[in-house]
Structure 1
Amino acid sequence: MFKLMSRSAVKMVERYLPDPYVFVVLLTLVAAGAAMIIEGQTPMAVVRWWGNGFWGLLTFAMQMLLVLVTGYMLASAYSGFIIWHGGLAGSIPLTIATEGHFSADKIGIIPTGDTIFAVFNLVIVVAMFILVPLVNRLMLPDEKESVYVDPARLEEASVPASDDDKRPAARLENSRLLAWLIAAGGLAYMFDYYVVRGAGLNLNVINFSFLILAILLHGTPRRLLASLDEAIKGGAGIVIQFPFYAGIMAIMMDSGLAATLSEWFVSIASAATLPFWTFISAGIVNILIPSGGGQWAVQSPIVISAAQALGADMPRVAMAVAWGDAWTNMLQPFWALPVLAIAGLKAKDIMGYCIIQLLVTGVIISVGLSFF
């Protein structure tokens, strides 16, 4: 059964799933078409809204890029991906906890105590911590079917120290003292922020913390920049896609399309069931927009309006989007490519197991959002 599900899923992905940039272009056309057909807007009006809003998420895009880059520089390994958006690195809960975020005028600042550390979210995380490994253990293949990773694949490529280069510039690039001085200042700020002031988590301070730790652990500016050269390759999609997300958000807001979709949500949901339906819709949208930050930019106008109209719990609804984003990543092989390369596997080798985890975690998240 697993093999049949795996083959079907891989064939579908290979045949129909284009690059995320193509998706965001198609989504732009869909949003523009819906604004003209459903809302009766003129093409020129839609183009004007799109162009005016195109650069509305520059700050947010930079924050998302740093989430990717600093996380890669600190530790470029995949771990526990299904629960990432419910934890300390979740882009949506950290975004809405950051002062001046793009939805602040509608929902204000929502602290992480109401999202990441809320009871319903902790229940989901703990349940996954127990059940996901258990399900994996039950699906463990026989010894003869198991694949073991060659330890040589896990060795990190070394960066030449260039000790023979006596130029002052080279000495600065290889200076541990320079890195330690900057890291010491950063650690002092982090101690003041977290311990002395007891301030809460947000996207900016998480990025700052990761960057300072990366500077400290790499030891020299040259080693840090070598890691950055590798990490930045994965950020190209954010750079090109987020302006399109901003344009889509502007079309949806200014054309009235977001309000229309919100009214539809209100018609089928209640304050109690809105988090569940938001989770399901977010899971579907994530297949088209495989970026938590970009997905929040597109979906937030809809879910915020619906939550306010129904009087639903806003932090819970926001986390429903976050969990929906993480949930259907189990259907996408993109996130697993680094690990697959290390293990010498292909997407078809894991897709069947991922589908089972998709079903199991879908139940866990739905129950957590609806009943706790």
Structure 2
Amino acid sequence: MFVSVIRFFDRIVQRYLPDAFIFALILTILVFLLGLVVTPSSATEMVTHWGDGFWDLLAFTMQMSLIVITGYMLASAPAVTLLLRRLSLFAHTPVQAIVLVTIVALTACLINYGFGLVIGALFARHVARQVPSVDYRLLIASAYSGFLVWHGGLSASIPLTIATSDHFLVDSLGVIPIGETLFTSYNIFIVVVLFITLPILNALSLKATNQNQQIDPAFLHETGENQQAEAKAVTPAEKLENSQILSLIIGLSGIGYIIYYFSRNGLDLNINIVNFTFLFLAILFHRTPRRLLQSVTEAVKNAGGIIIQFPFYAGIMGMMVGSGLSDEIALWFVRISTEQTLPFLTFISAGIINFFVPSGGGQWAVQGPIMIPAALELGADPARIAMAVAWGDAWTNMIQPFWALPILAIAGLKVRDIMGFCVVLLFWSFIPISIGLLFL
């Protein structure tokens, strides 16, 4: 039955799910129509909300593009390539390959979501070389499955936001330390159960795969590792381009700042410091500016989907917030909630809203002002409500292509290639998350 379910969803997704860009366009039209039907907004107002919000994610688009590019640059450096290759040697069979990639991705995403997205995909490519008989689509889906736990880990945006003294809901919510969110028994339960079961579930999914779905070996070697042969530097310009001293000075300067940053801020792995770390390690490991630029040329090919699609999601978010559509969805769930059911129904509503506002911070800005007053009025735990929004955001990422774009870009796959497996992960993860929020 399990095999049949996976094959069913895989067939449906392969046949009917369009490219991720088309998915974004369809969501745009859907939100526009829902805004007209559910809210008092006119067509002109909906178009205005869309256009006004279209460029609101420019900074975030650049951050995510850079995490793909800098991560790719770092992974293509000889020293890092050797490390990933040696780690991949632990996998000798397809089952071991799936389990190893899942565990690495889960661990990396618990540390930092951006780090996890890139490392999971890059490591999966190395494992695919080591075990070429593994189904490559499932291997990349396993790498993406690690993203399920990010909002219960150290880079979780919502619990980290409400733990700061100047967050926008501090007047009604106060400051909630992470001991009351990330380190609660219910959150630890959810994370541990997913950490144990996802590798098993992904490994069992191998029975439903087609062994003909193997990656072209030629693609796996197009990682920038085989640098072009460098001609002997003759002119002063060429000597600068091949200068190891120049790279060493700049690289060590960057490492110096990284050490200072962590000594001052602790383990604050935000997306900017992750990008900064990737970039300056890449500068050091590539040893010369020319080798680094060769890797950049290869890396930027992977960022196209992010650059073109994220503005459309920003426009969708603009319509959701500007029209009040996101408020209407959240309020409907509040109206049918009690003190006991509010965390669970908040989780469900967050999962739905995540389709249209696929950003943890953005989603909290939308739902927080509605859910926290409701929690205080009903007598529910506000910290649990915040974590319910966080887990709802993480949950439906399995079938929302927004966050899969960096992994798919690195892997060279389409969203339909992995989404059939991810649907099964969505259904399974619903169980431990619901148990944790309702009963622990």
TM range (shorter): 0.7 to 0.9
Q: What does residue 123 of structure 2 align with?
A: 77
Q: What does residue 149 of structure 2 align with?
A: 86
Q: What does residue 28 of structure 1 align with?
A: 28
Q: What does residue 168 of structure 1 align with?
A: 236
TM-score by length of 2: 0.65
Identity %: 36
Q: 1:56 to 1:153 in 2, by over 3 A?
A: closer
TM-score by length of 1: 0.75
Q: What does residue 372 of structure 2 align with?
A: 308
| Counterpart contact for 2:53–2:314, Cα < 8 Å | yes
Q: CA deviation at 1:260?
A: 1.4
Q: Distance in 2 between matches of 1:310 and 1:191?
A: 43
Q: 1:339 to 1:63 in 2, by over 3 A?
A: closer
Q: What does residue 314 of structure 2 align with?
A: 246
Superposed CA deviations along residues 132-156 of structure 1, whole A, max 9, x for unmatched, are 3344566666xxx899999998655
Q: CA deviation at 1:354?
A: 5.8
Q: 1:46 to 1:323 in 2, by over 3 A?
A: closer
Q: CA deviation at 1:158?
A: 0.7
Q: Distance in 1 between matches of 2:71 and 2:422?
A: 24
Q: Distance in 2 between matches of 1:161 and 1:112?
A: 51
Alignment of 1:172-321 (within 5 A): 172-198=240-266, 200-270=268-338, 273-280=341-348, 294-296=358-360, 299-311=363-375, 312-313=382-383, 315-321=386-392
Is 86-95 or 306-315 further displaced after alignment? 86-95
The answer for unaligned runs of 5 or more in structure 1 is none
Q: Distance in 2 between matches of 1:262 and 1:173?
A: 56
Q: What does residue 10 of structure 1 align with?
A: 10
Q: 1:218 to 1:12 in 2, by over 3 A?
A: same
Is 131-140 or 105-114 further displaced after alignment? 105-114
Letter in 2 for 1:308: I
Letter in 1 for 2:193: A
| Counterpart contact for 2:145–2:398, Cα < 8 Å | yes
| Counterpart contact for 1:95–1:203, Cα < 8 Å | no
Q: CA deviation at 1:205?
A: 2.0
Superposed CA deviations along residues 109-148 of structure 1, whole A, max 9, x for unmatched, are 988777666654443333333333344566666xxx8999
Q: 1:116 to 1:179 in 2, by over 3 A?
A: farther
Superposed CA deviations along residues 187-236 of structure 1, whole A, max 9, x for unmatched, are 21221121244363322222222222232333333333333333322322
Q: 1:308 to 1:243 in 2, by over 3 A?
A: same
Q: 1:186 to 1:316 in 2, by over 3 A?
A: same
SS in 1 for 2:40: coil
Q: CA deviation at 1:261?
A: 1.5
Q: CA deviation at 1:316?
A: 0.7
Superposed CA deviations along residues 234-275 of structure 1, whole A, max 9, x for unmatched, are 322221222222222222222222221221121234565455
Q: Distance in 1 between matches of 2:343 and 2:167?
A: 20
Q: Distance in 1 between matches of 2:29 and 2:216?
A: 46
Is 185-194 or 315-324 further displaced after alignment? 315-324
| Counterpart contact for 2:344–2:434, Cα < 8 Å | yes
Q: CA deviation at 1:5?
A: 3.0
Number of equivalences:
358
Q: CA deviation at 1:164?
A: 2.0
Letter in 1 for 2:247: A
Letter in 2 for 1:239: I
Q: Distance in 1 between matches of 2:404 and 2:7?
A: 13
| Counterpart contact for 2:398–2:422, Cα < 8 Å | no
SS in 1 for 2:39: coil
Q: 1:89 to 1:320 in 2, by over 3 A?
A: closer
Q: Distance in 2 between matches of 1:115 and 1:177?
A: 47
Q: Distance in 1 between matches of 2:168 and 2:363?
A: 16
- The yes-or-no answer on 1:366 pairing with 2:440 is no
| Counterpart contact for 1:77–1:339, Cα < 8 Å | no
Q: 1:347 to 1:48 in 2, by over 3 A?
A: closer
Q: What does residue 45 of structure 1 align with?
A: 45
| Counterpart contact for 1:69–1:235, Cα < 8 Å | yes
Q: CA deviation at 1:63?
A: 1.9
Q: What does residue 190 of structure 2 align with?
A: 124
Q: 1:115 to 1:186 in 2, by over 3 A?
A: farther
Q: 1:124 to 1:174 in 2, by over 3 A?
A: farther
Q: Distance in 2 between matches of 1:150 and 1:42?
A: 50
Q: Distance in 2 between matches of 1:105 and 1:226?
A: 44
Superposed CA deviations along residues 274-331 of structure 1, whole A, max 9, x for unmatched, are 5544544555666x67xxx84447744543244223233354134213421444479x
Q: 1:162 to 1:109 in 2, by over 3 A?
A: farther
Q: CA deviation at 1:17?
A: 0.8
| Counterpart contact for 2:396–2:426, Cα < 8 Å | no
Q: How big is the alpha-carbon RMSD for the aligned residues of Structure 1 and Structure 2?
A: 4.3
Superposed CA deviations along residues 88-111 of structure 1, whole A, max 9, x for unmatched, are 998983588589xxx964579988
Letter in 2 for 1:223: R
The answer for unaligned runs of 5 or more in structure 2 is 76-121, 125-141, 376-381
Letter in 1 for 2:192: V
Q: 1:138 to 1:199 in 2, by over 3 A?
A: closer
Q: 1:51 to 1:324 in 2, by over 3 A?
A: same
SS in 2 for 1:77: helix
Q: Distance in 2 between matches of 1:89 and 1:221?
A: 39
